[in-house]
Chain A
Amino acid sequence: MSLKPAVNKTDNIEGGEKALVELVEYGDYQCPHCGHAYPIIKKIQKALGEKLKFVFRNFPLQEIHPSAVLAAVASEAAARQNKFWQMHDLIFENQDNLSEENILALAQSLKLDVKKFESDWGDQKLLDKVNADFESGIRSGVNGTPTFFINGAKYTGSWEYADLLAYLKSLI
């Protein structure tokens, strides 16, 4: 199964323009497996440096994770102040306490313009973007979180650190 649509300018992308390998994660901020994957991806990024391009797309399962959409939209609101990744990281680091108040406190700790953040957080356009991410995941064959795509193809192997790193290295 392949990634539909391909990575594009609406995506949140971290890492080199000249990267040799592209890793896309569909994730849910309240999913414990994604929380487990978070430090692994960090380590992978560190190990591969500029060779890796990492993209995060939202796949919130809101019926079982009631704060997942709230958190996803918050990360997109932070993106409007160029702090998507900082917010993404903080949300995963505070995965067990994603109340509205706490997310707002995270925004403050990132020194975001909180007034703008709050208004963006309620912006339908950002909710639409999160929903579009979700739909793209469904169409790409995402069946749970986290699901990874590597160079556009669904990755079904183990994503524990050593396994994922070895696989990515084999492509470089």
Chain B
Amino acid sequence: MLQVGTMAPEFKLHSTPDQKLKLSELKGKKVILAFFPADWSPVCGDQMALYNETLKYFKKHNAELIGISVDSKWCHLAFAQDRKLHFPLLADFEPKGSVSKLYDVYDEVEGQSQRALYVIDEDGIIRWSYLSPVGINPGADGILDALEELDKPKK
């Protein structure tokens, strides 16, 4: 994974079928990048469903969550509508996995993103990262701990 303390690489991906989102548009906010393998996980309370419920805790820290997988913009749209997601899912679809590769979280064997998290600060610097075993939902506690740490008054 990319080093903590380095600049988060810029990218631009589809967030809806007719809109694209650039990372730099979010400057001034903290950004949580949640790379994940695929839409339509069958498990109750899967990772995206969980984050959907924890957005308000992220927002307290001025943080926006973004999900990224190699699924297409139309697949994301259907998934987000089905699960009533209130955050954007970006399609790392063409060239496939290019942003996941840029962030060093691409699984070449399966052809999908790994389950990985980055927390980026208001200036676009990577402050925290976590690579989860692919079958394990990493939860939100690590993200919240990292956000809290960032909001601590500097000594």
- Chain A interface (Cβ < 8 Å from any Cβ of B): 1, 28, 31-33, 59, 61-64, 134-135, 138-145
Contact = CB atoms under 8 A, between A and B. Distances in A.
- Interface on chain A toward B: helix, strand, loop, or mixed SS? loop
A63 B44 contact: no
B84 A139 contact: no
10 contacts: A28-B45, A59-B45, A61-B45, A61-B52, A63-B83, A138-B54, A139-B141, A143-B137, A144-B137, A145-B44
Contacts of B57: 135, 138
A37 to B, nearest CB: 11
A139 B45 contact: no
B24 interface: no
Interface in B42-66: 43-47, 49-50, 52-54, 57
Given A62-B53, A64-B83, A144 B45 contact: yes
Contacts of B85: 63
A85 to B, nearest CB: 23
Interface residues of B, number: 22
Given A143-B137, A143-B138, A61 B49 contact: yes
Contact of B44 (A32, A135, A140): A32
A32 B84 CA distance: 19
A-B pairs, top 9 by smallest CB distance, nearest first, are A144-B45, A143-B139, A143-B137, A141-B141, A63-B84, A31-B44, A141-B139, A63-B52, A33-B44
A63 B53 contact: yes
Contacts of A138: 54, 57, 139-141, 144
